[in-house]
Amino acid sequence: IKTMQKILITGGNGFIAFNFIKVMLKDDYDILSIDNLSLSKYLNHETINIKSDKFKFIECDIGSNDVCELIKNYQFDAIVNFAAESHVDKSIHSSNLFVDTNIRGVNNLLACCNDLIKKGDLPSDFRFIQVSTDEVYGSLTQTEPAFTESSILKPTNPYSASKASADLICMSYFKTHHFPVMITRCSNNFGPYQYPEKLIPLAVNNIINNKKIPIYGNGQQIRDWIYVEDHCLGIKKVLEQGQFGHVYNFGGYSELTNLEIIENIIQIMKPNEIANQYIEYVEDRPGHDTRYAINAEKVLNDLGWKPSHKFSNAIDETVNWYINNSEWSQNIMQTDQYKNWVEKQY
């Protein structure tokens, strides 16, 4: 029986959170979204444009004192923490923001919710979901079995190390304070509204703009791709049925090399043309993880979740979304913040 109603979504302007909000509003939840707008003020318009009396947006950082006041005043039934600096390459250039948001910010949320719970100032069935990543497990060889929830944490870059740190702090709050936390770890998401710095939107936008797609190293690294809506439905299941102190892995059962992904996109956009002319091999990402793969049996057995989108259909839809909504990406790509990033990285 669902008793939860009021949900705080942090990082609500980000790609996965924004898609999650849309899923939740279909099911009559009251959503308050916060974001520090670190990526781009532009993204804000998308969130503000949600027309629903069940939705509200406030600019706020998870590391601030204001967030504690807000949590107390609104009496949320649950918090889903999506707020994170998420781009591996950026964390390689500078890790400060990653430690600030992904570790200190999460700690701030936990500490403040824990205080409120101890004082009886939050609903008795309050729960907290930390949205994490498969990257906390580190890298697999081609033949190793996929990560399970009990695989050891062995992050390799500043981004994944910051996410793993947050996971450990969450689990310490569960053990020490019986804090009602659950952690989700998902593989690579794709779908509408992903920031154009990431591989799939970058590839589509580069083709639109007559630029080559930069492939790091030999392009043989493997990622397990999942359609963002499948991931969001999984998080919703954890929110509604998950057990405190548990970790839940989500994956898309679609392991592909980067080169295969890019060839797929070129095939959709430029059918029957030679893919190589759209590709440029560039210097490899330092410490580049070879392969991520997720064993998602636990969520199938415990929560009855499995992805419902087929990769080939979902990638087709996604590429077409970026083509039909190219203004959305172009507006971000024209900001100084984005241009400076591309200049620095490529």
Instruction: Candidates 19, 133, 184, 249: give the one binding ligand DAU (CB under 6 A).
Output: 133
Among this protein's residues, is 280 annotated catalytic?
A: no
Helix ranges (DSSP H) in the chain: 15-25, 43-48, 66-74, 88-93, 96-98, 106-118, 158-177, 199-208, 228-241, 258-269, 297-303, 311-324, 326-333, 336-345
Cα separation values, 215 from 42, 263, 333, 346, Å: 27, 11, 19, 11
198: contact with ligand DAU by CB under 6 A: yes
Instruction: Candidates 139, 165, 205, 258: give the one binding ligand DAU (CB under 6 A).
Output: 258
List the x/- string, 34-73, binding to ligand DAU by CB under 6 A: ----------------------------------------
Binding range to ligand DAU, per CB under 6 A, among 37-45, 56-64, 210-218, 267-275: 210-218
Binding range to ligand DAU, per CB under 6 A, among 90-98, 112-120, 197-205, 331-339: 197-205
Return the residue matching tokens 């392991």: 255
Pair of tokens at residue 147: 């990560």
**At its nearest, how many Å lie between ligand DAU and the CB of residue 87?**
6
Q: Which residue is nearest to ligand DAU (CB)?
A: 133
Among this protein's residues, is 135 annotated catalytic?
A: yes
Return the residue matching tokens 């450990």: 168
- What is the size of the binding site for ligand DAU (CB under 6 A)? 19
Q: Is 297 helix (H, G, I), strand (E, B) or coil?
A: helix
Cα 172 to Cα 147: distance, rounded to the nearest angstrom: 22
**At its nearest, how many Å lie between ligand DAU and the CB of residue 198?**
4
Pair of tokens at residue 345: 């990285």
98: contact with ligand DAU by CB under 6 A: no
226: contact with ligand DAU by CB under 6 A: no
What residue type is assigned to position 323 of the chain?
I
Return the residue matching tokens 């091999």: 281
Binding range to ligand DAU, per CB under 6 A, among 92-100, 128-136, 168-176, 265-273: 128-136
Among this protein's residues, is 273 annotated catalytic?
A: no
What residue type is assigned to position 277 of the chain?
Q
**At its nearest, how many Å lie between ligand DAU and the CB of residue 53?**
32
Contacts with 192 (C-beta within 8 Å, 6 or more apart), sequence order: 19, 228, 318, 321, 322, 325
CB-nearer residue toward ligand DAU: 88 or 235: 88
Return the residue matching tokens 């503000």: 48
130: contact with ligand DAU by CB under 6 A: no
87: contact with ligand DAU by CB under 6 A: yes
Instruction: Candidates 6, 56, 72, 285: give the one binding ligand DAU (CB under 6 A).
Output: 285
Q: Is 227 helix (H, G, I), strand (E, B) or coil?
A: strand
Cα 101 to Cα 39: distance, rounded to the nearest angstrom: 13
Instruction: Candidates 34, 140, 199, 207: give the one binding ligand DAU (CB under 6 A).
Output: 199
Residue of 35, 77, 135, 167 with catalytic role: 135
306: contact with ligand DAU by CB under 6 A: no
DSSP 152-196: PP---SHHHHHHHHHHHHHHHHHHHH---EEEEEE-EEESTT--T
Known catalytic residues are 134-135, 159
Residues that bind ligand DAU (CB under 6 A): 86-88, 133-135, 187-188, 198-199, 202, 214-216, 221, 223, 258, 285, 292
